Amino acid sequence: MPGLSAAVIEAHRARFRTLDSIEVGISPGNRTPRGEATTRAILSYVGMPFMALIEGQCRTVHGWQSLRRIVYPGVGARWLARCEVPDLSVLPARYPQLQTCDFRAGLELRRMHFGLWLVSWLVRAGVVRGLQRWTRALLRLSHRWLETGSDVGVMHVDMSGTGHDDLPLRLRWLIVAREGDGPQIPCTAAILLAKSLARGALPGAGAKPCLDVFTLDQFLQALDGYAIETSVERMV
C-alpha cells in the first residue's frame, strides 16, 4: 500500500470524467500465515483516532470501527473495519477532486474480527492504553484457530464518480487469492521495485510513496502462476 491500489486506480482512471470516491477493502483468509510485525502494525491503530477524507471533509475516525459487511461473489460475506494506512493521505493528494477516501480491512473469523472491534471501544474510551504490548499474546491466540476458516483472501477497490457520458459511474475491481497464495500480493510490489533497481530503471532516489513505479499489468504479470484472479464490474 498504496502501490497496488494506486495502480488499480490509474488503470481505470480514464473511464471517469470525475473521480469522487475511492474505497478499498482487504480481507485475508484465516489460514493465511500472519507475522508479528503485521499484527503489531494493526494493533497500533485499533481504537485510535486518525483523519480520513469523508464526503468532502477531513473527519476523525477510529481504527477498527465503522463496521461494514460486504458479500464477495464466490467467496462469501466478510466484515471490514477502518484502518489507518498511507492511502488515506497519499491518494487525496494525488487526486485533489476526491470527496471520499476510505480504507477497511477485516479478519475472516467473526470471533476475531468482532473481538478486536469490542476491544477497540476500550481503547477509544481510554480504559486500555493501546494494544501493541499484547501483540505476541494475541498472535498466539489467533494461532489456535489457524485451521479454521479458509485460505481465500480478497481485496476490492471501489471507484465512484461521473463517466464521460455525465452519468454516475461506479466500478469495483476485485482480486481473489486462493490456495493460500494471498501473501504473494503484498510482497509483489517489493519484488517489482527490486527488479527495477537491478535494471537501473527506477528514477530518482530517496524515500517516497510507492506511486508510478509499476503498472497494474506489470503487477498481475508478476503473479502469473498463482491461484489469483481479478475482475472488474460496473456496480449499480
- For residue 188, the model assigns a pLDDT of 92
Beta carbons within 10 angstroms of residue 202's beta carbon: 15
Encode 10-21: b = buried (16+ Cβ within 10 Å), e = exposed: ebbeeebeebbb
Map out the domains of the chain as residue ranges: 3-234
- The x, y and z cell numbers of residue 48, run together, are 485510535
Task: Kindly state the average pLDDT of the residues 45-57.
Answer: 97
Inter-residue contact 58 to 94 (CB < 8 Å) = no
DSSP 50-67: EEEEETTEEEEEEBT-S-
- Predicted confidence at residue 62, as pLDDT, reads 98
Q: What pLDDT score does 33 carry?
A: 84
**pLDDT tens per residue across span 71-100:** 999 999 999 999 999 999 999 999 999 999
- pLDDT of residue 231 exceeding 80, the answer is yes
| 103-161 pLDDT, tens digit each | 999 999 999 999 999 999 999 999 999 999 999 999 999 999 999 999 999 999 999 99
Helix (H) or strand (E) holding 12: helix 3-12
CATH class of 3-234: alpha beta
What's the whole-number mean pLDDT along residues 173-193?
A: 92
Burial of 64 (C-beta count, 10 Å sphere; 0-12/13-18/19+) = buried
Q: What's the pTM?
A: 0.93
pLDDT tens digits for range 199-230:
888 777 778 888 888 999 999 999 999 999 99
Strands in 168-177's sheet, in edge-to-edge order, are: 68-72, 76-82, 100-105, 16-27, 153-163, 168-177, 228-234
How high is the pLDDT of residue 207? 82
